[in-house]
Amino acid sequence: MKSVQRVLGRDLTKVVSATKEDRETRHILRTTSKKSYNILLSLNELIDGQKVEVVSHPSLNIIHRVVYDIDSKNMSNEKLLDKLKAQGVIAVRRITKLRNGVVSNSPLLVISFRGSTLPEYIYLGLARTSRMPYYLSPTLCYRCGKFGHGTRVCPNKDTCLNCSLNHQSDKANPCTDIRTCINCS
């Protein structure tokens, strides 16, 4: 942290918080200041001469929003991204729907921006569209059937996802009991 203080100065260091991860070989530095962010990206050596690489976190600095645009329903994601890059958009993904075995485009687009603030409106062609929040799909544990965590960090006992009882079942030994939801019975 002393290297960061030396590079940023006393005032900008106040807006930086740090946490260690990956057996303390990597550090995550969080800041709300664009100026300190740009200075940190230029850091390539610590006070003691150790070389470091500073990169933007792949998911913490990205905001996703959903926009509705019926006119772009038949456009490819690449073409939409090309048209929206000037507005700060870094990725576009279309929400599709499956009907009768056929995948079709919907007018909903998930648009990703780098940073922590969004523009008030997004322009798709000449139309000004508002944005809606984007909610990720909830994580489901395939060990206990509860939402909010994965199998790797599950604190619960093995639960059958078919009948909700405490026994294991798999393809070789399928459960034949009545299907019961673990979360709502």
pLDDT tens digits, residue range 132-177?
Answer: 777 777 788 888 888 888 888 888 888 888 888 888 777 788 888 8
Q: Is 106 helix (H, G, I), strand (E, B) or coil?
A: strand
Q: Which residue's structure tokens are 């909610």? A: 135
pLDDT over 80 (residue 24): no
**pLDDT recorded at residue 49:** 83
**Model confidence, pTM:** 0.56
Helix/strand number for the chain, H first, E second: 4, 8
**pLDDT recorded at residue 82:** 92
For the chain, the domains span: 2-41, 62-133, 137-185
From residue 94, alpha-carbon distances to 73, 124, 128 in Å are 9, 14, 18
Show the DSSP H helices in 9-141 as ranges.
Answer: 10-13, 34-41, 77-84
- Find, among 160, 152, 156, the residue nearest to 176 by Cα: 160
pLDDT over 70 (residue 1): no
Q: Is 164 helix (H, G, I), strand (E, B) or coil?
A: coil
- The full length of the chain comes to 185
pLDDT over 70 (residue 98): yes
Share of residues in the chain with pLDDT > 90 (%): 4
**pLDDT recorded at residue 78:** 92
pLDDT tens digits, residue range 41-64?
Answer: 888 887 788 888 887 777 777 888
**pLDDT recorded at residue 35:** 83
pLDDT averaged over every residue in the chain: 82
Q: Please name every residue paired with 21 in a beta bridge, in sequence order, or none if there are none.
A: 26
* Residues 30, 40 contacting (CB under 8 angstroms): no
CATH 3.30.70 fits 62-133, yes or no: yes
